[in-house]
């Protein structure tokens, strides 16, 4: 079951990266009128949110470095244009962060997971529920990306 849940996260992540290959770095960094972030921020945020929901909520350190987490955590905004090198890092993390989550899950490190309620009113009590929540959250941000790509 875990593999299927993670595939439901992996596949859209890979598809959105492939879709964005047709865009320039300037387009991906552009903040469209009416938005307070850009396409790259939404990608980074998907990674940071997954780290927060799965690792930080379980009392664990994030797998990504803290500077990355702080840059893309909830309620953050783009700090400036992202370089090609940083964008490549994000594209890599879109895949490797899910692979690491799978390894850590199988290693049983998520043993101290307290109940909390998301800003969407969903109560999450364990890592399985956290993983089940991720596709909803990522779907929201992929929706923003799909709308933004028409404006850049």
Mean pLDDT of 39-58: 97
- When the pLDDT of each residue in the chain is averaged and rounded to a whole number, the result is 95
Residue 107: per-residue pLDDT: 97
Residue 16: per-residue pLDDT: 95
Whole-angstrom distance, CA of residue 111 vs CA of residue 116: 15
The neighbour count for residue 100, using CB atoms within 10 Å, is: 17
Task: Please check whether residue 53 is in contact with residue 126, taking contact to mean a CB–CB distance below 8 angstroms.
Answer: no
Mean pLDDT of 69-80: 95
Give the structural domain span for 45: 2-149
Segment 96-136, tens digit of pLDDT = 999 999 999 999 999 999 999 999 999 999 999 999 999 99
Q: pTM for this one?
A: 0.94
Whichever domain contains 118, its CATH number is 1.20.120.450
Residue 2: per-residue pLDDT: 84
Percentage of residues in the chain with pLDDT exceeding 70?
100
Task: Please check whether residue 110 is in contact with residue 58, taking contact to mean a CB–CB distance below 8 angstroms.
Answer: yes
Paired residues of 117 in beta bridges: 123
Mean pLDDT of 6-13: 94
Number of domains in the chain: 1
List the Cα angle 41/44/49 in 5-degree steps: 115
Q: Is 128 helix (H, G, I), strand (E, B) or coil?
A: helix
């Amino acid at each position: 079951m875990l593999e299927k849940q993670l595939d439901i996260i992996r596949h859209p992540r890979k598809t959105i990266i492939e879709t964005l290959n047709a865009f320039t770095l300037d387009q991906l960094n552009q903040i469209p009128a009416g938005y307070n972030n850009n396409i790259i921020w939404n990608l980074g945020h998907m990674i940071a949110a997954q780290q927060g929901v799965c690792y930080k909520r379980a009392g664990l350190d994030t797998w990504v470095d803290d500077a990355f987490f702080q840059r893309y955590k909830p309620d953050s905004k783009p700090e400036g244009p992202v370089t090609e090198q940083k964008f490549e890092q994000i594209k890599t993390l879109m895949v490797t962060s899910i692979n690491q989550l799978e390894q850590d899950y199988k290693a049983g490190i998520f043993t101290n997971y307290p109940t909390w309620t998301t800003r969407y009113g969903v109560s999450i009590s364990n890592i399985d529920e956290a993983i089940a929540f991720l596709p909803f959250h990522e779907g929201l941000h992929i929706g923003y990306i799909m709308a933004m790509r028409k404006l850049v």
